[in-house]
Amino acid sequence: MRAESVARRLLSFRRLSVGKLRFEADDHGGEALVIEVKPRGKARCSRCGRKCPGYDRLKTRRWRHLDFGAHQVYLEAALARVECDRCGVVVEQVSWAEPDSRFTLHFEEMVGWLAQRCDKTAISTLLRIAWRSVGTILERVVARHRAEIDWTQVTAIAVDELSFRKGQHYLTLVSDLQSGRILWSREGRSAATLEAFFSEIGAEACARIRHAAIDMLSCGTLTGLGRSPTMERSRSCRLAPDDLAAQDSAAQVIESEAAHPHASSWRRGHRGRTLHPFPVV
């Protein structure tokens, strides 16, 4: 079997043609595998997915894919821009990545999986990517899966934070406490960050949330939780950054944790700044 055929089967993305393969020196003293690819079929708008006429062609760009052994793997393509009646002139759609990403979907899904089991340092070191890239990838992963979330089933949430850039920046993660699935993420860890979550899910979904496990030291007054009538009593919960006792109380599961099998194990894990071993996103 030809190397191009092997590569196409391994990549397993739809509507993708594989060209030449080559090795290049990478930034870590090794060799990276570069696979030339291009989208197959008529060009589509990357925003709405409709078939569109071509407009022009962009310079070659790369997407980081899952490593092959010790070798980093990159897909390389010169994409076209298309002229969409609805969206204007935009880059064409590809099956292996989102329009603004420099990583393939498979790579991003792995980051999402690891984020539920490792801290950001481990992810950044293992995958050899920048701190900031972990955060932006997680935001895209969560956004992709949010469309599949049945908010009528979300009644208990866990709110946690991941630090990055040597602790100067934080990413807030909201998970379904029962299924363990990550529901939402956003850079920051303030009350405003959490408020944004409640604003986005809407009043109906807020009203169904009856329990919350919080592990955010500088969240301040949890004004966002006040959006849910059934969580009114949690409003006065104030988190003191330098008060360990307050940290414990902040991590408590408001109202009854007994009804939620993941709650106690999540509490055991929260001090280590690692998330409870939740299922895959």
The residues that touch Zn ion, with contacts defined as CB under 5 A, are 45, 47-48, 84, 86-87
Q: Which is nearer to Zn ion, 56 or 150 (CB)?
A: 56
192 DSSP 8-state letter: H
Using CA atoms, how far residue 36 sits from 4, 24, 70, 158, in Å, is 9, 13, 20, 42
Of 89 and 259, nearer to Zn ion (C-beta) is 89
User: What is 114-151 written as a DSSP string?
Assistant: HHTTS-HHHHHHHHT--HHHHHHHHHHHHHHHHTT--G
- Closer residue to Zn ion in complex, CB, 86/271: 86
Q: Which is nearer to Zn ion, 57 or 86 (CB)?
A: 86
**Six token digits for residue 209:** 């949330």
Least distance from Zn ion to the Cβ atom of residue 250, Å: 45
Beta-carbon count within 10 A of 44 CB? 19
- Nearest distance, CB of residue 50 and Zn ion, angstroms: 5
Shortest CB 83 distance to Zn ion, Å: 9
Q: Which residues contact 139 (CB under 8 A, 6 or more apart)?
A: 185, 186, 187
- What minimum distance in Å lies between the beta carbon of 97 and Zn ion? 17
Closest approach, Cβ 59 to Zn ion, in A, equals: 22
Q: Which CA distances in Å does 138 have to 108, 151, 172, 173, 188? A: 7, 20, 11, 9, 13
Smaller CB distance to Zn ion: residue 84 or 142?
84
**Count of C-beta atoms within a 10 Å radius of residue 235:** 15
